[in-house]
A and B are shown apart, each in its own frame.
Chain A
Amino acid sequence: IAGITQAPTSQILAAGRRMTLRCTQDMRHNAMYWYRQDLGLGLRLIHYSNTAGTTGKGEVPDGYSVSRANTDDFPLTLASAVPSQTSVYFCASSLTGTSGSNEQFFGPGTRLTVL
């Protein structure tokens, strides 16, 4: 693989169900991010990780959790999905999370619908 992959591509989920969105990168980037993108709004940061073993909360962390057991993987879990979590979710990575010039590279996104 090259770059960032996300799975699944899309998912329809019943409210109350648990769901894990997967993200894997092969660029050996230290920093990884989860965003949600909703119509009319900018990308909003959910959680981030500046290095394996550490995570931090972004702008909209409630209802989501993450883990960073290794450099490559950064899964996002919805413990009990609600309709307001219907969105397109993007995973991104950058070489570091503490330098201004590092561009973020994005995965193809997961379109999630919670009914």
Chain B
Amino acid sequence: GQNIDQPTEMTATEGAIVQINCTYQTSGFNGLFWYQQHAGEAPTFLSYNVLDGLEEKGRFSSFLSRSKGYSYLLLKELQMKDSASYLCAVMDSNYQLIWGAGTKLIIKP
């Protein structure tokens, strides 16, 4: 079957760095997405990886290892507004997104 695993909840301190991991097993692979979702709101796109390596976008970076079925989202210089859920999703061979349950990130002052 298809499976996306990510931690349920993480806590970090304002100004620090946090890494949110995602492992996946899917039928086919056409890329991995990270989305941010604030409570009560819609998911918004953060990053897309299809090749191995690190993609950097401001304070956020995303890494992919296809051979290991593994990705992480790195958030630097954490701000209170980064408190949200972070959703990992893999696009399978049918170009459909398979979603993890999300990681709730709590930022403490």
Q: Which secondary structure dominates chain A's binding surface?
A: loop
| A58-B96 in contact (CB<8A) | yes
| B95-A43 in contact (CB<8A) | no
Return the chain B residue nearest A109 by Cβ. Answer: B42
| B99-A44 in contact (CB<8A) | yes
| Closest Cβ–Cβ distance, residue A8 to chain B (whole Å) | 15
> Does A100 lie at the interface of the complex (its beta carbon under 8 Å from any beta carbon of B)?
yes
| A100-B42 in contact (CB<8A) | no
| A100-B50 in contact (CB<8A) | yes
Which residues of A lie under 8 Å from residue B97 when comparing CB positions?
A: 43, 45, 104
Which residues of B lie under 8 Å from residue A44 when comparing CB positions?
A: 99
The count of residues in chain B whose C-beta lies closer than 8 Å to any C-beta of chain A is: 22
Interface residues on A, range: 20 to 34
> Does B43 lie at the interface of the complex (its beta carbon under 8 Å from any beta carbon of A)?
yes
> Does A2 lie at the interface of the complex (its beta carbon under 8 Å from any beta carbon of B)?
no
Within 8 A of A (CB), among B37-85: 41-45, 48, 50
Which residues of A lie under 8 Å from residue B99 when comparing CB positions?
A: 42-44
Which residues of A lie under 8 Å from residue B44 when comparing CB positions?
A: 106
> Does A90 lie at the interface of the complex (its beta carbon under 8 Å from any beta carbon of B)?
yes
| Closest Cβ–Cβ distance, residue A73 to chain B (whole Å) | 18
> Does B20 lie at the interface of the complex (its beta carbon under 8 Å from any beta carbon of A)?
no
> Does B101 lie at the interface of the complex (its beta carbon under 8 Å from any beta carbon of A)?
yes
> Does A103 lie at the interface of the complex (its beta carbon under 8 Å from any beta carbon of B)?
yes
- 27 chain-A/chain-B pairs, Cβ below 8 angstroms: A41-B101, A42-B87, A42-B98, A42-B99, A42-B102, A43-B43, A43-B89, A43-B99, A45-B97, A48-B96, A58-B96, A90-B42, A98-B95, A100-B30, A100-B50, A100-B91, A101-B31, A101-B50, A103-B33, A103-B45, A103-B48, A104-B45, A104-B97, A105-B45, A106-B42, A108-B41, A109-B41
Which A residues are closer than 8 A to B by beta carbons?
40-45, 48, 58, 90, 97-101, 103-109
